[in-house]
Every structure is written in structure tokens, then in C-alpha cells.
Amino acid sequence: MFNAADKPIVGLDVGSSAVKMVSLDTNGDGCRVIAAAMSTIESFDSSEPPEIAEMAAIENCFKSSQGGISRDSYFVLGLSGSKKVKISSFNFTLLTLQEVGQAVMLEAAQVCPFDIKSSVVDYQLIGTYEADGGGLRKREKKVHPSVKGVLAVATKEAISKRQKLAEDTLLKCVLIDSDELALLNCLEKCLPSGEKLPIAVVNVGRSLTTVAILGTDGLPFVRNLGYSGGDIIDYIAKSSNTSAEQVQQRLSEGKCSADIDLACKRLILDIIETLAYYLASHGGNAIERVYVCGGFSLLDDFVKSLTGGIESKVSVWNPFLQMQCDDNIVGGDLIKKCGPAFAVAAGLAMRQV
């Protein structure tokens, strides 16, 4: 019913500093942008729970969209953070499909940094696992030499908070996805022609940096780094004896070029280490292309620092360049100016049930 319903899908990305919405039409060939909106999350009272500020930002998005994004749409919300979500791939040998579920739970218990008893575990097989006739029963009992797939685990607490946020803002939440998988989903569907795999995308926000790699084996690789945009701002603020607000303003004006390289040094090393680990564990060709997206990808000095520190070719990635996006849509100017910051929201809007 969800696929057949004639309603737009809206990806809702609730970050630490801003809320972003993208409404897409994914029927037919490619994707068509219907509308987009963004609002800063402003906390006026530290005693209030963060959900209050998030709700206010969501309401501001509806107001700024001027009806371009309807509350009657279907919404896909995302989750992120190493303490809330774990994304991993698996490749089991000599198992039947009946045994996969138990093997996945054992794998989840080993790779998750949190208790899976208080979590929701889901997985998706990648590839075809069919027997030579005999129907479903025979197919499930057949021993397969290799069973590949992706594993997703999220804490029940994090899922409940997202569900409550949707309920409190009167949204029709049809799916809760991980930001990391949404990012890879968007990369796969909006990959510029001529690009060769593997390709990495680095999403840099205020409180989280995610490295996601799209490889030739069809298995996602995701790593959340401990150093993000907020750490860069704090580093520059401390070294220059200025406030975080002043540093953020200087960054947006391109006036932090003297401090940005040192501030980004740890992040660059973490990215290089992640790319090297992927190559060592997966083999194949080296990653020649690194796309950068997220809020910090809009800062020229930051991108220049990454470009100078990473051997792979680094470029800002705007997924909307591969979509149909009319000039007169609500949020069209926002997409042109801040498109790379909407990559996760776009990937969430591309999800199908």
C-alpha cells in the first residue's frame, strides 16, 4: 500500500544543529525534487529536553516550505551515532537460509557496542539464494557456500524517541532508517556517470563524521569517527582565544585559513586510516575518489584542508545535480546553495518499503 500510494516521500534528517527535509518523487526514471526546507535547532533553555528545540525546528521547516512539504506526506526519519546505531556487513559460509537468522544475532552481539537485548536487529541479504526448483522449503534448507548481507542494529530507546518525535509533531512516520545507509543509498542512486568503485563519501556535521564506502562487492562499509565539525570549531576557538560563535562566523566567511589545517589534522588522519583499513580488509583497487558532504562541506577552507591532506581526489558532492530539480520549487535556492548538506535527507526520501 505504501508503494502504491500517491503521496510524496519526505526524508527528515534531524541533526545536532539543524533539521533538514527533502520531498522527492521517485516514481519513474530517476528522482524529482518536490521541495526542501531547513531550520536551525536553537535551544533557548538548557533545562529543556533537546526534543523541544527539534520540534520547533520541524515546525519552522513546515512554515518556510509554505505548503511545499505537507504534513500529510509519508516521512522517513533517520538515526545516527555509534551509541545508537551499528551498521555492519556479514559473509557467512556453509549455512542454510534457516540458519542465517541465528547467525545474524550472534554477529550482532559481537560487533555492537551496546546490548542487543535492548535493541532492534534487522538484516537484508544481498544476492540471490535460489535452489534448483523445489520451492521455498528446499531453498531454505539448501547449504550455501556464501551468504552475504547487511546488518543494522538500533537501540529501542533511540527508536522510541524518534517515534515520539514524529507523534508529537503529527508526522506519518512509515520508516526509521539509519543515516549511514541512507547516505550510501543516495550515493548509489546519484553516482555521477563514469565514476568507478570503490568510492568513499565523508559526511561531516557538527557532532558526527561518517565515512561510508560503496564497494564492488555490494556490501556497505560504514565507520563513524570521533572527530567532527564541533571539535574543529573548539580547536580553533581555543587556539585563537575566541568564542565558538565567532569561529563559526569566521569559517562561514572563509577567514580561518591560517588555523584550519591544524584543526583538521586529526580528522584527516582518521579518514586516511579508515580508507587504509578498508583496502586492507576488502582488497581490490584503492579508493581514488572521496566525496565530501554535510554541513561542513559548505566551508571552502575546510574542503581545501581535506583536499591537501588526503591523497585521493577530494570533491564536494551535491547529489541534486543528478536529480530533476526545477528552479521554481520551494527550497530551490536552498538546494543550490546547500545541496551537499541535504545528502542524508535525500537518501532517506529515496527509501521504499
Domain shared by 215 and 263, yes or no: yes
Average the pLDDT over 152-176 and give the result.
Answer: 95
Residue 27 confidence (pLDDT): 73
Q: Is residue 134 part of a domain?
A: yes
pLDDT at 1 over 60: no
pLDDT of 183:
96
Confirm whether 280 is domain-assigned.
yes
Whether residues 213 and 290 fall in one domain = yes
| Same structural domain, 147 and 205 | no
Mean pLDDT for the chain overall: 89
Whether 244 is in a domain gets the answer: yes
Angle at 144 between CA 197 and CA 105, to 5 degrees: 80
Q: Return the CATH number at 127.
A: 3.30.1490
Same domain, 145 and 223: no
Same domain, 228 and 312: yes
| 209 located within any domain | yes
Task: Flag whether 137 is in a domain.
Answer: yes
Give the pLDDT confidence score for residue 48 in this predicted structure.
75
Give the model confidence (pLDDT) of 79-127 as tens digits.
998 889 999 999 999 898 889 999 999 999 999 999 999 999 999 998 8
The CATH number linked to 307 is 3.30.420.40
- 8 in a structural domain: no
Predicted confidence band of residue 132 (pLDDT cuts 50, 70, 90): very low
Q: Among 173-177, 242-246, 256-260, whose mean pLDDT is lowest?
A: 256-260
pLDDT given at position 172: 94
How many structural domains comprise the chain? 2
**Same-domain check for residues 150 and 262:** no
Q: Do 112 and 226 reside in the same domain of the chain?
A: no
Same domain, 139 and 200: no
Which domain range does residue 152 map to? 85-156
Whether residue 26 lies inside any domain: the answer is: no
- pLDDT-based confidence at residue 325 (cuts at 50, 70, 90): confident
pLDDT range class, residue 193, cuts 50, 70, 90 = confident
- pLDDT exceeds cutoff 70 at 138: no
C-alpha cell read off for 272 = 586516511
pLDDT confidence of 50, banded at 50, 70, 90? confident
More confident position, 48 or 35? 35
The answer to whether residue 76 is domain-embedded is no
199, 279: one domain: yes
User: Does 191 have pLDDT greater than 90?
Assistant: no
**pLDDT tens, residue by residue, 210-240:** 999 999 888 889 999 989 999 999 999 999 8
For the segment 3-29, the average pLDDT, to the nearest whole number, is: 84
